[in-house]
Amino acid sequence: MRINRKRYRIFYKLEEHLEIPMFLLAIGWLILFIIEIFRGLSPFEEKLIYVIWILFILEFLIKFIIAPRRLQFIKQNWITIISLIIPALRVFRIFKALRILSTVRVINSTKIIRAITSGKRFFGALEKAQGPQPNAEMDVGFLIAVKNLEEKDKMIKYARQLAEDVKPELEESTGINWNFDISDIFKLENDRSRSPSYFLDRASMSMAVGPYDLVCVITDVGLMSRGNIQVSGLSSLITRIIAMSTKQLTSTGKNQERLDLDCEDVRYQSASLFLHQTGHILGLKHTPATKPGVMSSKKFNRSLSKVPSFSPKEKQVLRKKAKKAPDRELRNGNDLETFVFHILMTFSHPGNFFWPLIRNKALLLPLSLPGLATAAVAPAIILIFNAEIWDVGLGMTNGTAAFFAVISIMLASFYLVRVQSLFLPKREKRIITEHLAVANTVIYFSIFLACIGLFLMVGALMMVIELYVFPEDLMRTWPTLSKPEILLEDKIRIAVFISTVGVTTGALAGGLESRTIIQHLALFRKNE
Q: Which residues pair with 223 in a beta bridge?
A: 194, 231
Question: Taking residues 266-286, what's their average pLDDT?
Answer: 91
pLDDT (average), residues 78-82:
61
| Residue 235: pLDDT band with limits 50, 70, 90 | very high
Residues 342-388: tens digit of each pLDDT: 888 888 888 888 888 888 888 888 887 778 888 888 888 888 888 77
pLDDT at 94: 34
* Among 170, 150, 190, residue whose Cα is nearest residue 242: 170
In this prediction, residue 164 has a pLDDT band, given cuts at 50, 70 and 90, of very high
pLDDT of the residue at 108: 43
Per-residue model confidence (pLDDT) at position 78: 63
pLDDT surpasses 50 at 255: yes
d(CA 516, CA 50): 54
pLDDT recorded at residue 113: 45
Conformational region of residue 38, where left means phi above 0, alpha means psi within -120 to 50, and beta covers everything else? alpha
Least confident of 115-124, 169-178, 255-264, 286-295: 115-124
The mean per-residue pLDDT over the stretch 115-132 comes to 54
Mean pLDDT (whole number) for 251-266: 82
pLDDT at site 282: 92
Give the model's pLDDT for residue 445: 92
State the first-to-last Cα distance of the chain, in angstroms, to the nearest integer. Answer: 60
Q: Is the pLDDT of residue 86 over 60?
A: no
Strand 137-146 relative to strand 214-219, pairing: parallel
Torsion of CA 371, 374, 380, 383, to 10 degrees: -100
Sign of CA dihedral 504, 510, 515, 520: negative
Amino acid at 79: I
Q: How confident is the model at residue 281 (pLDDT cuts 50, 70, 90)?
A: very high
Residue 356 preceded by cis peptide, ω within 30: no
Euclidean distance between CA atoms 112 and 463, whole angstroms: 56
Position 111 scores a pLDDT of 46
Q: What is the mean pLDDT of the chain?
A: 79
pLDDT tens, residue by residue, 288-313: 877 777 888 766 666 678 888 999 99
Residue 107, pLDDT above cutoff 60: no
DSSP state of 243: E
Q: Would you say residue 46 has pLDDT above 70? A: yes
CB 453 within 8 A of CB 499: no
Q: How does DSSP classify residue 91?
A: G
Residue 145 binned pLDDT confidence (cut-offs 50, 70, 90): very high
The answer, yes or no, to whether residue 90 has pLDDT greater than 50, is no
Is the pLDDT at 476 greater than 70, yes or no? no
| Pick among 3.50.50.60, 3.10.400.10, 3.40.390.10, 3.40.30.10: CATH of 137-322 | 3.40.390.10
pLDDT of residue 93: 37
Q: Where are the domains of the chain?
A: 2-129, 137-322, 335-520
On whether the pTM is more than 0.85, the answer is: no
Q: What is the pLDDT of residue 9?
A: 65
pLDDT over 50 (residue 96): no
Question: Given a cut of 80, is residue 232 above it in pLDDT?
Answer: yes
Helix (H, G, I), strand (E, B) or coil at 314: helix
Just give the CATH number of 2-129. 1.20.120
Summarize the confidence of residues 38-60 as an average pLDDT.
Answer: 78
Average pLDDT, integer, range 194-213:
89
| Banded model confidence at residue 34, pLDDT cuts 50, 70, 90 | low
Is residue 137 pLDDT above 80, yes or no? Answer: yes
Tell me: the pLDDT tens digits for 399-445? 888 988 999 898 888 888 877 778 888 766 678 888 899 999 999 99
248, 200, 254, 205: which is closest to 224 by C-alpha? 248
